[in-house]
Structure 1
């Protein structure tokens, strides 16, 4: 029997000091909400979905409400989810005006007969499934994301992840079932139609009960080139090493070879935790038993009782 764990990240990048408390509030809330699903015998798929939904609704993260804007000032969302027991996957890209892409990605996985939907077909599938798009459009845009786009336009216009803010979750239950989920708005100033690593299974998200589960964040155009999600889990298995040192090594190897930075949260097949990033910051949190661990940078490791997370249901508010 495995001790259930739910771990989340709130994105790898460089975060201004004044936004770190909001991110820590958000990830600790997401971790406890997701863990509660496991505690009441919900599935790992439901647990990671619910954890990600908390962060999608929170303006402090680059997913759902508050997501990064493309060059035209619009939010285009990518998401994926994977069930490690069946290896079922659901991905979507370029989604507009839907607060919770991860829930639609789950429906793609469970209800569409396919793995990945985009464009008009994604929209019609969403409507068929009863999803409600925000009317009028544009309600996912925040002042912070508009300011970030203006700053980007005034800068060298490189597609670095900036603050990051992609969100993700990985869970394992008492039976060793694992799931992973990731949701993002991509990079500020991206071309319309750009797809990053987040919806790509094996790059941004991966789960397999025999290997573990992982959710990635960071420079997606680089992460995609090395299929980092799958590589971390598979390399740990093949070399019979712990996920943590393997994750640290592969992140640094990617950056040395191709540039960019990234981060991840992962669980191995028995629930051991790995938190790794070579960006300056990455907010993360996990709950195991009655304890929540959390942090926002390399040296930052904090513990608190799970009962001490009295945060608002929507810490960022809409």
Structure 2
């Protein structure tokens, strides 16, 4: 009997230790996945991306440390990414075949399944804030185009001239892709200011090896997932889409369940990759469903969908995820993904390449 009592006591202590180890908050960031290899990044470019991931993760973490909500942390972090021309979101967005920047974004609150998204906005500086406004200040889930920008103005969200989003490297990438497709090159946006080509960036179309790497193998979509001290999770995603996209193409980023999903019953997920495949598989929702209904761990669920289901469909990309218990995960079937994670009591971890933990 005494041995049983000792075993029970040890088990109880172990459970207590596990409970204590659960972080009060956690946050994961991605800046896109794709053919990202060490040979393609100069030391300066590598450093620039790591510093950006560090800055964004710490910004979100600061919100959570102060007792802010997961939604607040997600929005604050993504706003930084939307202002950073390193990434294909906001000011670093790629161009459509018509020479426009059309921005997509979405956000979801895991505590009540409220969600908001926008597609094809052209004058709202921070699409992630607009997506949140759609969720909280409108009866709708998704708005698009001019209507979305008009709604942004009613909410006093900052508006900018479309030329604000112009970057020289993205325009050069557009010209290369249009030439490859045999399509006409449009006039530059009115007010666009050509910049230096020596930006410390890794182009979506291949950086220093731009002419050798397929444009479709780069994804600069950004996303953040968070768990706050109240136990709630949230997810957000923002993107400029794909270079030279046509006919009003919309990818998975603004599609709730495909590029973004969050539920306190399972997890929060943000995705990056070839959007058409993520839409077909409803990647974000599928990962959450495996956690909720099949009892898979967060990492196992992410790997199941990305490494098996997505790969079998010949899709490529990756996800980040966080669970209500503070577990964090990422999974991608490409050679790299810009990523970072940080949690209460755990150090910041930043990675780019496949061989990094």
Q: Name the TM-score, length of structure 2 as normaliser.
A: 0.80
CA distance in 2, matches of 1:183, 1:159: 22
Say whether the 8 Å CA contact 2:266–2:324 is kept in structure 1: yes
Where structure 2 has 5 or more consecutive residues not aligned to the other structure, the ranges are: 1-21, 183-212
Say whether the 8 Å CA contact 1:98–1:132 is kept in structure 2: yes
CA distance in 2, matches of 1:237, 1:56: 32
Aligned to 2:348: 292
Does 285-294 or 82-91 show the bigger shift? 285-294
CA distance in 1, matches of 2:96, 2:312: 27
CA distance in 1, matches of 2:100, 2:150: 20
Aligned to 2:287: 232
Say whether the 8 Å CA contact 2:34–2:219 is kept in structure 1: yes
1:71-128: CA deviation from partner (whole Å, max 9, x where unpaired): 1121100000000001110100000132210011110110012111112321221111
Say whether the 8 Å CA contact 1:75–1:97 is kept in structure 2: no
Residue 138 of structure 1: which of 149, 163, 169 is its match? 163
1:147 paired to 2:172: yes
Residue 210 of structure 1: which of 240, 250, 265 is its match? 265
Residue 222 of structure 1: which of 277, 287, 297 is its match? 277
1:275-296: CA deviation from partner (whole Å, max 9, x where unpaired): 1101111011111135101101
Say whether the 8 Å CA contact 2:307–2:331 is kept in structure 1: no
CA distance in 1, matches of 2:49, 2:119: 24
Aligned to 1:8: 29
- Over aligned residue pairs, what C-alpha RMSD do you find? 1.8
SS in 1 for 2:268: strand
Residue 59 of structure 1: which of 85, 101, 116 is its match? 85
Post-superposition offset of 1:28: 1.5
Residue 112 of structure 1: which of 134, 138, 154 is its match? 138
1:249 paired to 2:304: yes
Does 28-37 or 154-163 show the bigger shift? 154-163
Post-superposition offset of 1:152: 1.6
CA distance in 1, matches of 2:282, 2:229: 29
1:212-242: CA deviation from partner (whole Å, max 9, x where unpaired): 1010000001110000000011113322221
Aligned to 1:191: 246
CA distance in 2, matches of 1:278, 1:20: 20
1:181 paired to 2:236: yes
Change (3 A) 1:261 1:224: same
Aligned to 1:313: none
Report the structure number with the largest CA radius of gyration.
2
Say whether the 8 Å CA contact 1:160–1:260 is kept in structure 2: no
Aligned to 2:47: 21
Post-superposition offset of 1:5: 0.5
CA distance in 2, matches of 1:71, 1:54: 26
Aligned to 1:33: 59
Structure with greater helix share of residues? 2
Say whether the 8 Å CA contact 2:33–2:332 is kept in structure 1: yes
Q: How many residues align?
A: 300
Say whether the 8 Å CA contact 2:291–2:298 is kept in structure 1: yes
1:133-161: CA deviation from partner (whole Å, max 9, x where unpaired): 213x2220111111211222233699964
Where structure 1 has 5 or more consecutive residues not aligned to the other structure, the ranges are: 302-318
Q: Name the TM-score, length of structure 1 as normaliser.
A: 0.89
CA distance in 2, matches of 1:55, 1:44: 17
Does 213-222 or 245-254 show the bigger shift? 245-254
Say whether the 8 Å CA contact 2:267–2:291 is kept in structure 1: no
